[in-house]
Every structure is written in C-alpha cells, then in structure tokens.
Structure 1
Amino acid sequence: MSFPEYVLSRWDNLLEDAIAHAQVVLAALLIATAIGVGLGILTYRRPVAAQAVLAISSAVLTIPSFALFTLVGAIFPFLGLGFLPTMVVLAAYAVLAILRNTITGLQSVDPAISESAMGMGYSRWQRLVKIELPLAWPVIIAGIRVSGLLILGIAAIAAYVNGPGLGGDIFSGLSRIGGANSVNLVLGGFLGIIVLALVFELFFAILNKLTISKGLN
C-alpha cells in the first residue's frame, strides 16, 4: 500500500491521534506555564533562589525521557498509564525554558521604569502586573513556544506508558520494521508531529500578534 493510500484508509484514526497528541501537549504546557511563570515571579528578585530553581529544572531536562516516564510511574503509581503520567512528564520537561525566560524577561525590565511607577504610587503587585510582566511578555512567550515545540516531539515517546498521540504508530511501525505498512506507520506518525509543530508555530505567531504591543515588537 502506498503512503497516500495508507493515509486515506486511516485518516480518521490519524486525526484522532493527532488531536489527542495536541491535547496532552497543551495540557502539559498550561501546567508548565503556571509553574514556570509563578516560580519566575517569586524568584527573579532573589538571585540565589532563581539559580536554585533553574538548576533543578535543568537537572530534570537531562533525564532521558524513557527513564523519566519510568520514574514517574514508579513514584506516582496512582497516575496509572496514559494521559496523566504523560502530562506530568511533559510538564516537567517544559518548565525550564518558561522559567528561564520569565526570570530573564523580568530582570531585563529597566529599573528606572519600575522606579517611576513606584513614584506614581503603584504598589509592588501593580508594578508587576501592569508594567513588568507586559514588558517581559515577549521573552516569556518565546520560552513557552520553545517548550511547546520541545514536548511535541517528546510526547511521541509517551507511547511507552500507553500515552495518547501519534507515538503509538511510530513504536508499532518500528517494532515490526520490514512488515506490511511498517514504514507507513512510522512515516504517518512522524509527519503528523511535523504538521502539529507547524500548527503550533501558527498559533504562537497569532498569539504574539494579539498579546504583544506593537511598540515591543
């Protein structure tokens, strides 16, 4: 069977897997964004604390994905298999770029701007929300984009723990290489992830346009 014929015959399944793949990545990215931005806000004025959380996040990123999926399953057996452990592992991998960019973005805000706002009677929270975060947002969103693209690929390995997405076809094809449709299975999953990456790129381009002031571009 040719690849185009294979895609047409399994279009519904491929689309369902692609949607599941995108869903678990988006869920993990939302969690990682909340953690990364939250920790960044808490530590950007405290260099020692900032270095500590960055070191921990960096250490997580050095753990091979197969090992981390296994580790999460062993430590949190109540998560079972499938969506939840996949989401936890992907979120862990996604935190570093978001955290680092949040700290960098907030630290790069001109102190004179914050001091001017303080002179106008802004509280520390108001300065953060109304001035510092908007100015740091282009850097923060760049970190979210990098993390999203990173975990799109890692999510394929989640098939190891029965995770959702396109990785199942890739693993299935690799396990019976040389058999019928084995190459089609791998190619279908691989190209599906590339298409999702392009969709994510488009999404972030639109998000950039909608959320970043023209004066900051």
Structure 2
Amino acid sequence: MVVGVGIGMLVWNRPIPRSVVIAAAGVALTIPSLAMLALLIPTFGLGWTPTVIALVMYSLLPIVRNTVVGLREVPPAVMESATGMGMNQFSVLLRIQLPIAWPIILTGVRVAAQLTIGIAAIAAYVAGPGLGSYIFQGLSSLGSVNALNFALTGTLGVVILALLVDALFVTITRYTTSRGLRA
C-alpha cells in the first residue's frame, strides 16, 4: 500500500510518467503468478522473499491506478480555493486531495488485497507461506484418504480469509471516510 500510494502520489499530475507507471504495473500483472515466482527464485531463492516481492508487484496496479484516479478527480476549484487560502502544493495534496481521494484509494487497496490473497495460495509451490500448502498437499496426494480434506481445507481457508479481509476494508472505509463523502 505504501509503495503503490507513494508512486501514485508522485505521478498523478505528470502524464508521461503516469502512463509509464500504469503500463508497467499492468504488464507485471499479466505475467502468470507461477512464472513470476519462477523468475524470482534464481535471485532470491525459495520462501518468503520471492513471495513478498511477487505479491507487491501484483498489488501495484489497482493501488497506483486508484490513487491516480482519486487524486485527479478532486475538483480543480477545490484545489484552487485551497491555494487561494495560502496552502502550498504539498499542503493541498495532504489536507485536501488525499482526504477526498481516500475512498477511491482504499477501494484499490481492497482489490489488491483480494488479488494477493488468491495469488499467495500459489506461492506455496515455491515454499512460500500460506494456505496454498494445504491445497498442494491435497493435489499431490490424490487418491489417498485425506487428499480431498487437505485441498478443501486450503481452498476454504483462502475463501474465508478473503471474505474477512474484504469485510475489514469495508469497515475501515466506513470509519475513515468523512461523512460528507460517504454518499
């Protein structure tokens, strides 16, 4: 979230860097997750490191795109009024634009969280953390007594975790968004 929102804040008002960053994040998202993890293994080995790097790369597009859209959708008259009141560009960004763009930014974070939960299950294939280890254990032992139990445990765990995280972000959005913007 920090990386994506930071990048979005840096490029939201610069057309060429904005297009390059969004296109690069889009290209990274099109790489199949297993292929991305396989590309990271020679450099970072197995385990947590390649998993975290891949998940950060996959989560960038929705966060950066929503940050850019949220900041660009703030009415120019509102920003001009803030400048007329004596605010500098940084103050306008922090005190006016970010609070108005916050619900849109959180929606991007919510989408990214759902995306990474699903992709994290695949990370078990390269010894990454997560519920995917149960899924792969069940798939690798097809025909045994507990194969289906392992696969279902991992799958249901991923689904339940995704639903809980989604509910958490709905709650966070509700309590951190100004009443005037909650329409």
After TM superposition, the score normalised by the length of structure 1 is 0.82
Match of 2:133? Answer: 168
Describe the superposition over 1:83-135 as per-residue Cα deviations: whole angstroms up to 9, x where unpaired.
Answer: 22111111110010000000000001000000000000001000000000100
Match of 1:49? Answer: 17
Match of 1:181? Answer: 146
Letter in 2 for 1:105: G
Letter in 2 for 1:110: P
Bigger Cα displacement from structure 2, 118-127 vs 174-183: 174-183
Give me the whole-angstrom Cα distance separating, in 2, the residues matched to 1:150 and 1:175. Answer: 25
How does 1:3-152 map onto structure 2 within 5 Å? Answer: 33-74=1-42, 76-77=43-44, 80-152=45-117
**CA drift at 1:67:** 0.6
Letter in 2 for 1:126: S
Q: Which consecutive aligned stretches of 4+ in structure 1 deviate over 4 angstroms post-superposition?
A: none
Give me the whole-angstrom Cα distance separating, in 2, the residues matched to 1:123 and 1:210. Answer: 28
Give me the whole-angstrom Cα distance separating, in 1, the residues matched to 2:159 and 2:3. Answer: 27
Alignment: residue pair count? 182
Letter in 1 for 2:66: N
Give me the whole-angstrom Cα distance separating, in 1, the residues matched to 2:30 and 2:166. Answer: 25
Match of 1:25? Answer: none
- State percent identity of aligned pairs: 47
**CA drift at 1:57:** 0.2
Describe the superposition over 1:19-42 as per-residue Cα deviations: whole angstroms up to 9, x where unpaired.
Answer: xxxxxxxxxxxxxx1111111111
Give me the whole-angstrom Cα distance separating, in 1, the residues matched to 2:37 and 2:166. Answer: 26
Give me the whole-angstrom Cα distance separating, in 2, the residues matched to 1:205 and 1:92. Answer: 23
Describe the superposition over 1:130-187 as per-residue Cα deviations: whole angstroms up to 9, x where unpaired.
Answer: 0001000110000000000011011010011101111011011111211110000000
Listed as ranges, the gaps of 5+ residues in structure 2 are: none
Q: CA RMSD in A?
A: 0.8
**CA drift at 1:210:** 1.6
After TM superposition, the score normalised by the length of structure 2 is 0.97
Q: Please state whether the residue corresponding to 2:49 is helix, strand or coil.
A: helix
Match of 1:11? Answer: none
Listed as ranges, the gaps of 5+ residues in structure 1 are: 1-32
Counterpart of 1:201 (choices 160, 163, 166) is: 166
**CA drift at 1:69:** 0.2
Letter in 2 for 1:200: V
Letter in 1 for 2:14: R
Give me the whole-angstrom Cα distance separating, in 1, the residues matched to 2:64 and 2:98. Answer: 13
Give me the whole-angstrom Cα distance separating, in 2, the residues matched to 1:40 and 1:193. Answer: 29
Give me the whole-angstrom Cα distance separating, in 2, the residues matched to 1:56 and 1:169. Answer: 33
